[in-house]
Amino acid sequence: MSKNIIGRRIVIKGIVQGVGFRPFVYGLARKYTLFGWVRNTSKGVDIELNGAPKLISKFITELQLNPPPLARIDFVDIKPCQPNGYTDFKILTSQPLPEEFIPISPDVSICTDCQRELLDPANKRFRYPFINCTNCGPRFTIIKEIPYDRPLTTMASFNMCSFCKFEYDNPNNRRFHAQPIACPDCGPHVWLQIGDKILSEKEGAIQTARDLLMKGKILAVKGLGGFHLACDATNQTAVEELRKRKRRSEKPFAVMVYDICIAEKHCLLNKDEIRLLESREKPIVLCRKKLNSSIVPQIAPNLQQLGIMLPYTPLHLLLLEPSSDFPEVIVMTSGNIREEPIAFTNNQAQEKLSSLADAFLAHNRDIHIRVDDSVVYEHKGNPYFIRRARGYAPNPIQLSNPLPEILAVGASMKNTFCLTRKNYAFLSHHIGELENLETLKSFQDSIAHYEKLFRIKPRLIACDLHPDYLSTRYAQDRSISDDIPLIQIQHHHAHLASCLADNNWVSDKPIIGICFDGTGLGTDSTIWGGEFLFGNYREYQRLYHLSYVPLPGGDAATKNPCRMALAELWANDIPWQDNLAPFQALSDEQRAILLTQLERSINSPQTSSMGRLFDTVAALIGIRQQINYEAQAAIELEAIIDPDETDHYSFDVDGNIISLKSILESLISDIKKCVAKPILAAKFHNAITNMVREVCMKIKDETGCSTVALSGGVWQNLFLLKRTENILEKNGFNVLFHQNVPSNDGGISLGQALIAATKIKDPKIWKSERM
């Protein structure tokens, strides 16, 4: 053997399966005349190379700098080995390895090549609604087990025809080892069903569905991660009927349009919003709606923002194909009964959605795990998550330091869970509101699926302090049944830690955490939510917080901002005046009962919640006295802001308490002067921004710290976020905000996991290796 031939063994970890990595390696080896093999394993991709040193060096450089578009290389290990006399380069059969794991690719929207073929009459897959390749299509939602091979997916029951098998086996083909590969001869098919009767199939089903949408009907449409409910977004009668059936009176619906040109007809889009809409993740992007849009106001009542997305499956493209008589904009809202998880099996959809949909556009490619659409804003050119799900989950958060195997179960609202192993934190897709047995089962099933896929056996469980959260009860029950230690973690400390982890913060130095949200049980058994913390992963101090006010009736106050407003006035010794909107919203009898509750502390827990302050202001201004969905009052308050107003109200700081009396009195004074509502809303938001700056300056003087983390659901208010970031940065602060996980309770579990790791005393639990 030539002395110029050397050998190298390469192990690659990351998202390197189901993304065309092996054919990429094959082509690269052929390019540089290298011999050996590549194979998938349960921990990533293994490569063995024989060749000239310079050529192997070029191979390794290109491998790391220009991987396939869907790949994410997290770790590369290169070791010398003896040349083995290979005379070609092969792709070997996958090798399962017990207990090993790899990250898994999220589902990916249809690529441009597949879209071109979909609409090409000369192509075998012309108008085939399940066209895909190694660069697009279902991934996470069809995977049952790793390694990612067809027999371990829901495509296992579809035997490939000779045409598909040739492409699947050809390393030079775009569909080489594309596990969901299919064509009209051998793959899944679509049908249109009303009741138990199938009216049409394949292309006929799609055309029948389009006809029904044009007639104002409501359809249940099976997508990648579950069913949507669809109707014409420009048809007021259809939208109102959907709201009536779904019992969703005002919560906004998302819409889908065929392409970016139609999106720009209805929304004011900047280049970064366009980039997000057209990205391979295809999230719902919250954008500013144009005043002349034909989308009916009932889609997003009282709001200027519209949740819009582009088609991400071939079926969506065929369903929304433009024509002169087909509506430009289609509602695509989650196919579920209120507060239940999205329906994802055909039988479940028939059972749950028959009273909601006039017809079903379904198919026989099974979904193994339900996943909702992701929802984002654009912020500083990147997605700012409201809901992290399809397209992003189960992408792990990469950690600088390895962690033991921990399960963190999150909170109750907007639940996610988090599993850690080595340098990865696997934050789950959005589960939803853990308020019923259906969602609890989805939560339990998803945990079991993630643990199986990623070979994780939790050695520690972390949960919230709140004893009544279903996630807490699950953690407690499992801790006992599986004999696993349990750690309960304060809600807002978890928010702070989540933001730190989201910014890859590795220092032990404590920072300022501004955690503003609606509710979180405090260590003093009150409800926190307007908090200035000072801490790190290990510990925290509560330095400042909003003054406590009673929450009369608990949930009754959160659902009725008028009650909250009168409680705030009572707590601050401000008389109830009969010309104020919240006073007028309640009857004499209701006000009398409320006053008794307050005076006698009947079912009136104390809260320092910033979310409830937003409710109070919205009620006083006259925007919203009752709400029909979470944070509705705050969202509508943000929607009316006059962005040009620079004046602000003032808070008073007394010791470590931020008093609300001054701001409430000033607001009521302006209301009496008939100051316009957009001005009132702006002055309130500006007041919070200035209060944050003043308190942070105090903390900086006390501690010397100039780094601030913003976390909690209130920071989904983009106006407040941008104004606060700007004023803090101008005053010399380094501002951390959420990058990859939501600022709301959807990010809590990540923080719980990082905090839990610092509490571990038992070295056996810490037995962990780097990747």
E strand or H helix that includes residue 201: strand 197-201
pLDDT at position 225 is 96
d(CA 472, CA 456): 20
Q: Give the rounded percent of residues in the chain with a pLDDT score beyond 70.
A: 98
Instruction: Please report which confidence band the pLDDT of residue 99 belongs to, taking 50, 70 and 90 as the band edges.
Output: confident
- Residue 216, sorted as left (phi over 0), alpha (psi -120 to 50) or beta, turns out to be left
Distant-in-sequence, close-in-space partners of 51: CB < 8 Å, separation ≥ 6? 5, 6, 32, 33, 34, 35, 36, 59
The answer to whether residue 441 scores a pLDDT higher than 90 is yes
pLDDT at position 769 is 38
Instruction: Please report which confidence band the pLDDT of residue 469 belongs to, taking 50, 70 and 90 as the band edges.
Output: very high
Please give the single-letter amino acid code of residue 228. H
DSSP character string of 712-754? SGGGG-HHHHHHHHHHHHHTT-EEE--SSS-SSGGGHHHHHHH
Q: How many residues does the chain have?
A: 771
314: nearest Cα among 137, 184, 546 = 137
Query: Would you state the structure tokens that stand for residue 554, as one six-digit string?
Result: 């608990």
- pLDDT tens for 675-721 read 999 999 999 999 999 999 999 999 999 999 999 999 999 999 999 99
Instruction: Please report which confidence band the pLDDT of residue 591 belongs to, taking 50, 70 and 90 as the band edges.
Output: very high
d(CA 647, CA 680): 10
d(CA 259, CA 588): 54
The answer to whether residue 1 scores a pLDDT higher than 50 is no
Give the DSSP letter of residue 542. Answer: E
d(CA 279, CA 301): 28
Q: Measured in Å, how far apart are the chain's first and last C-alpha atoms?
A: 34
- pLDDT tens for 660-685 read 999 999 999 999 999 999 999 999 99
Torsion of CA 706, 682, 639, 546, to 10 degrees: 50
pLDDT at position 96 is 83
Instruction: Please report which confidence band the pLDDT of residue 93 belongs to, taking 50, 70 and 90 as the band edges.
Output: confident
Q: Which of 93-102, 368-377, 734-743 has the lowest mean pLDDT?
A: 93-102
d(CA 391, CA 388): 8
d(CA 569, CA 586): 15
Give the DSSP letter of residue 700. Answer: H
pLDDT at position 762 is 59
Query: Would you state the structure tokens that stand for residue 467, as one six-digit string?
Result: 């004893």
Q: How many CB atoms lie within 10 A of CB 761?
A: 7
361 beta partners: 192, 221
Query: Would you state the structure tokens that stand for residue 307, as one six-digit string?
Result: 């949740």
The owner of tokens 């005349």 is 33
pLDDT at position 764 is 62
- pLDDT tens for 105-130 read 999 999 999 999 999 999 999 999 99
Tell me what the mean pLDDT of segment 529-540 comes to: 97
d(CA 180, CA 155): 6
Q: In b/e form, how buried is each residue of 47-59, taking b as 16+ CB within 10 angstroms?
A: bbbbbeeebbebb
Higher-pLDDT residue of 337 and 611 is: 611
The answer to whether residue 765 scores a pLDDT higher than 80 is no
pLDDT at position 763 is 63
The answer to whether residues 671 and 493 touch, using CB atoms and an 8 Å cutoff, is no
The answer to whether residue 588 scores a pLDDT higher than 90 is yes
pLDDT at position 338 is 80
Q: How many CB atoms lie within 10 A of CB 17?
A: 27
615 to each of 109, 575, 620, 623, 647, how far by Cα in Å? 38, 18, 9, 9, 21
Instruction: Please report which confidence band the pLDDT of residue 6 belongs to, taking 50, 70 and 90 as the band edges.
Output: very high
The answer to whether residue 767 scores a pLDDT higher than 80 is no
pLDDT at position 172 is 86
Give the DSSP letter of residue 396. Answer: P
pLDDT at position 613 is 98
- pLDDT tens for 165-202 read 999 999 889 998 899 999 999 999 999 999 999 999 99
The per-residue pLDDT of the chain, averaged, comes to: 95
Instruction: Please report which confidence band the pLDDT of residue 98 belongs to, taking 50, 70 and 90 as the band edges.
Output: confident
E strands, 325-459, are 329-334, 359-363, 375-379, 382-387, 397-408, 418-427
The answer to whether residue 582 scores a pLDDT higher than 60 is yes
Tell me what the mean pLDDT of segment 749-754 comes to: 98
Instruction: Please report which confidence band the pLDDT of residue 768 belongs to, taking 50, 70 and 90 as the band edges.
Output: very low
The answer to whether residues 459 and 406 touch, using CB atoms and an 8 Å cutoff, is yes
The answer to whether residue 343 scores a pLDDT higher than 90 is yes
Burial class (CB in 10 A: 0-12, 13-18, 19+), 398: middle
Q: In b/e form, how buried is each residue of 677-704, taking b as 16+ CB within 10 angstroms?
A: bbbbbbbbbbbbbbbbbebbeebbeeee
Instruction: Please report which confidence band the pLDDT of residue 771 belongs to, taking 50, 70 and 90 as the band edges.
Output: very low
Query: Would you state the structure tokens that stand for residue 685, as one six-digit string?
Result: 């938001």
- pLDDT tens for 273-312 read 999 999 999 999 999 999 999 999 999 999 999 999 999 9
